Amino acid sequence: MAVTGGQQAAAALESPRTVTILGSTGSVGCQTIDLIDREPGRYQVEALTANNRVDLLAEQARRLRPRYVAVADERCYRELKDALAGENIEVAAGQDAVIEAAVRPSDWVMAAIVGAAGLRSTLAAVRRGAVVAFANKECLVCAGELMMREIELRGATLLPVDSEHNAIFQVFEFDRRDAVEKLILTASGGPFREWDKGRMGQASPSEAVAHPNWDMGAKISVDSATMMNKGLEVIEAHHLFAVPEDRIEVLVHPQSVVHSMVTYVDGSVLAQLGSPDMRTPIAYALAWPRRMATPSQRLDLGAIGKLTFEPPDPERFPALRLARNALKTGGSAPTILSAANEIAVESFLAGGIGFLDIAEVVEETLERIPNRGFKSLDDVHHMDEEARRIARAVVEARL
């Protein structure tokens, strides 16, 4: 199964390219807009969406002149409407309004809504056969088989924006899958790479979100600190590239220069390198199948001096084991894993539970819920809701 819809999709993406950004006020959304601003005339914005950051969304809309703007939180409708009064921009609110943004006629959609909340809108864009650049791990983690089936059925194109999967995408020979021996996902190790377990147990939210290399949102930064993000990426890579779990390796690479690698049966290892700047993979997806200039700092290997790699520590970072087990179990296990992790991270950021409790909450939630298969997206959402309910109960028992 191909990640992309091939030549037909590529031919449809001539300039000026119409784009929709789902989650435009988040980190990835803002960096996408930064790139669009740098090439005026090349991109025309069809729609923007946000959860509740009305001030920033309105500012983006006034600058980019989209036809449609939606805010997921219905309570923010009047504020957004007033902020865009006289701008000749259609304004809407609510979850259905976000889905409407996804199905509007644009060539290219950035799916950057964090967490399971982005699943329906991303799937809506896929179902209309769009080219979808996605920075939302949970879409493939929670509903990987359903998502990939829809991509093939609808002739959609899926372009990974995560730096690791984008790196693999750039060096993966889709027409010679039998020559691929394994994938190697690199991880920075996060802010606690050298901390002992006792110190990690006392870590504060501010310490956890202080990523040493990347500028990311709070939830993703905590996932990096626990290495849950790398576990989610293993599941994601399995679906994207049709490679089994036991052929997906993870290596800690503190410099964040080698973004991931593909090993081939002849012993060749192809890697994509670059400075740690999310605008590089976003630009690759935004301009695909071409490339575009970015302001990213150019890589100077002579100045860096050396690149190091080490295996992850399974004792201090159990989240990676939980994710691998969920992938091997299949069925609803990855959905439970993702939902429970969101609840646990939310509680940690709010000061409710400790850092080491995050993985323990996820593991206990997985143990409490029987595994079952999915036939539809509704099944996924029902399981996501059940897992969140159980995870909240697990969290409350620890408070």
Residue 8 confidence (pLDDT) above 80: no
Contact 189, 35 (CB under 8 A): no
First to last CA, the chain: 45
Give the C-alpha separation, 32 to 196, whole Å. Answer: 37
- 260-292: per-residue pLDDT in tens? 999 999 999 999 999 999 999 999 999 999 999
What letter would DSSP give residue 315?
A: T
Q: Would you tell me which CATH number, out of the four given (2.60.120.260, 3.40.50.720, 3.40.50.300, 3.40.1260.10), belongs to the domain 7-161?
A: 3.40.50.720
Give the C-alpha separation, 202 to 20, whole Å. Answer: 41
- 174-191: per-residue pLDDT in tens? 999 999 999 999 999 999
Residue 240 confidence (pLDDT) above 50: yes
Residue 10 confidence (pLDDT) above 90: no
Domain ranges of the chain: 7-161, 163-274+299-313, 330-399
Q: Please give the distance of CA 350 from its chain centroid, rounded to a whole number.
A: 22
In the predicted model, what is the mean pLDDT of the chain? 93
Structure tokens given for 372:
């079952």
pLDDT score at 138: 78
Write out the DSSP string of 232-289.
HHHHHHHHHHT--GGGEEEEE-TT--EEEEEEETTS-EEEEE--S-THHHHHHHHHTT
- To the nearest 10°, report the CA torsion of 54, 56, 57, 61: 130
Considering the domain 330-399, what is its CATH architecture?
A: Orthogonal Bundle (1.10)
Residue 3 confidence (pLDDT) above 90: no
pLDDT score at 1: 38
User: For residue 379, with 0-12 CB atoms within 10 Å meaning exposed, 13-18 middle and 19 or more buried, which class applies?
Assistant: middle
- 312-335: per-residue pLDDT in tens? 999 999 999 999 999 999 999 999
Mean pLDDT value across residues 249-267: 97
Mean pLDDT value across residues 352-364: 97
Tell me if 7-161 shares its fold with 330-399: no
- 119-128: per-residue pLDDT in tens? 899 999 999 9
Omega within 30 of 0 (cis) for the link into 244: no
Residue 216 confidence (pLDDT) above 80: no
Strand 157-160 vs strand 258-264: parallel, antiparallel, or unpaired?
unpaired
pLDDT score at 63: 95
- 11-58: per-residue pLDDT in tens? 556 678 999 999 999 999 999 999 999 998 999 999 999 999 999 999
